[in-house]
Amino acid sequence: MFLLFLGWSIYPDAKSYSSVLFSGAEFWQNAPDLNTERRTVAVIAFAIMGGYVSASQYVYRRFSTVDLTPGSFFSVSLRIVFATLISLMLMFTFSDIKILDSNLILVLAFLTGIFPDTGVRLLMEKMSIFSSKMDDQHINYPLGKIEGISEMHKIRLNEIGIDNVQNLAQFDFLMLIIKTPFPVRTLLDWVSQAKLLLEFQDQTEELQKVGVRNVLDFVDALDGHAERCEEISAICGINTLSLKVNLDNIKNDQSVALLNHFRNHLENLSLTKKGLS
């Protein structure tokens, strides 16, 4: 709040007393001698504001779902610091284009405060040594690939060590139920989607053409229906052998059997934070 409204007071010889929040780019454009420094102050202020808005929403959501812990405040505080540093790095990265001297750099800082992970990806794309061609991004799917997982959900899953799709697919399902406040039906869908994505990777979207959204749908569609392999292969463009091999792998996966058991007995299942009954 100090930076947003009284940032000008940092400079005792300032000729302009406009606030960062209401003046925008004029905060540094009116002070050519301190142009870079004032712009940095403005970017930091907007990044913190974005992080604070996101943190407030997250804390309220955790409070309303009776899932608020002391660790939640440490988590959002670290995200604000992280987002602020990323905003500064983006400002330095965009130093050679016109966006730096306009209000767009403040909009970028504010959005980075809300979505720091997106800011990191943008920063990595600007740096050729960290581009997707140099990294294993094709096997390190972000949680955003899972339908239904929002930014708030990702933060909560990150707190228990789930940072990507592979972590979600391999995490102990019973512990996932106990450690998170999400409904069992929702977790069942997320984990099933994650397992299908691990098996078929980029071909997962093709399977949706035949109504297969997750690994349980895949087993239902093909198990005991061998004739469907050819039909699905023709529609989705996936090799028949690949479908059969993945089906065998999935059927032999005990964690998938557990998911199927939960699905079949979900209506009769009573869950509490103290355990399962």
Do 28 and 119 lie in a common domain? yes
Is 8 in the same domain as 80? yes
Average predicted confidence (pLDDT) for the chain: 82
157 and 187: one domain?
Answer: yes
Q: Which amino acid is at 266?
A: L
Say yes or no: 34 and 88 in one domain: yes
Cα separation values, 57 from 63, 64, 113, 149, 245, Å: 10, 11, 13, 16, 44
Residues in the chain: 277
Range of the domain at 125: 2-135
DSSP state of 142: B
151 and 85 share one domain:
no
Give Cβ neighbours of residue 207 (< 8 Å, ≥ 6 apart).
Answer: 196, 200, 213, 218, 232, 236, 238
Which of 51-55, 150-154, 248-252 has the largest mean confidence?
51-55
pLDDT in tens, 127-174: 766 555 544 545 678 888 899 998 889 989 988 889 899 999 999 999
Q: Which of 90, 115, 135 is the last residue of a domain?
A: 135
Of 80, 115, 135, the one marking the end of a domain is 135
Q: Give the SS3 label for residue 18.
A: coil
Q: Note whether 209 and 227 are same-domain residues.
A: yes
CA distance 61 to 151: 12
pLDDT, tens digit (0-9, with 9 covering 90-100), for 189-232: 999 999 999 888 888 888 888 888 889 988 888 877 777 888 88
In this structure, the answer to whether residues 94 and 152 fall within a common structural domain is no
pTM: 0.73
Q: How far is CA 169 from CA 33, 71, 128, in A?
A: 54, 24, 30
Please tell me the total count of domains within the chain. 2
